[in-house]
Copies of this chain bind each other. A is one copy, B any other.
Amino acid sequence: MVSTKFIKRLDTKYKIRFNNPKLLEEAFTHSSYANEHPENGTRDYEKLEFLGDAVLELAISDYLYRNFRNLNEGELTRMRSNIVDTEGFAEFAQKFGFPAEINLGHGEEKAGARSRKTLLEDVFEAFNGALFLDQGMEAVEHFLSLTVYPLIDAGKFDASRDYKTDLQELLQQDGPVKIEYEVLKEEQLPSNFTVQLVVNGKVLSEGQGHNKKAAEQEAAKSALGKLN
């Protein structure tokens, strides 16, 4: 059962009071617990997680679109995927005191599931799915405005390093230099690219990746490692 203390904390800190407390309970119920306690009739959080995943994706996309006008689509996408990932969501769940509230079965408890990042991510998504069902998108956005959005504004999820750009800047600090990435090998099933980086006609490094772009990044990273 979600604790009274937690319910009170949701109210005082985030002004969240569930109209349907069953939804909150469901968001914190792992399948292992639901299986062990059929008498409670509480469903596990999986369907709420399915919905919450999409709720968070839109809330965060919308926030980025409206507040980072200068970023192009590629930069927005990279920033979104920095936010919407297991690590990040698990960290939020931890920060807001979610782990202690999760209804877990005995086996999973013993196996340390309470601190498992994928489970914490699931619960964070399910909680937002429940909040969306209970009070709509505005309530989710209000919760995120008190928790996640400030971290976005503080730059916590800024686009990760772009090695190709870094390398170009390093090589061209004294003027233009011809930089080429040549595909050496492209394997099928699943596709695996090997790319060769040629600077002014001289092979500098190689990189591998599941697509050309990733392989180029790896080649640039390797070149940076050699050059720095």
Using CB atoms and an 8 Å cutoff, list the residues of chain A in contact with chain B.
Answer: 46-47, 49-51, 53-55, 57-58, 60-62, 65, 72-73, 76-77, 80, 137, 189-190, 192, 208, 210
Contacts and interface: CB of A to CB of B under 8 A. Distances in A.
A91 to B, nearest CB: 21
Copies per complex of this chain? 2
A215 B118 CA distance: 23
A61 to B, nearest CB: 4
Contact of A54 (B62, B189, B210): B62
A65 B77 contact: no
A69 to B, nearest CB: 9
17 contacts: A46-B73, A47-B72, A47-B73, A50-B65, A50-B73, A51-B62, A54-B54, A54-B57, A54-B58, A54-B62, A55-B58, A55-B61, A57-B57, A57-B58, A137-B137, A189-B192, A189-B208
Nearest to A77: B50
Given A46-B72, A54-B57, A54-B62, 5 more contacts: A50-B77, A51-B65, A53-B61, A189-B192, A190-B190
Contacts of A55: 58, 61
Contacts of A53: 61
B49 A54 contact: no
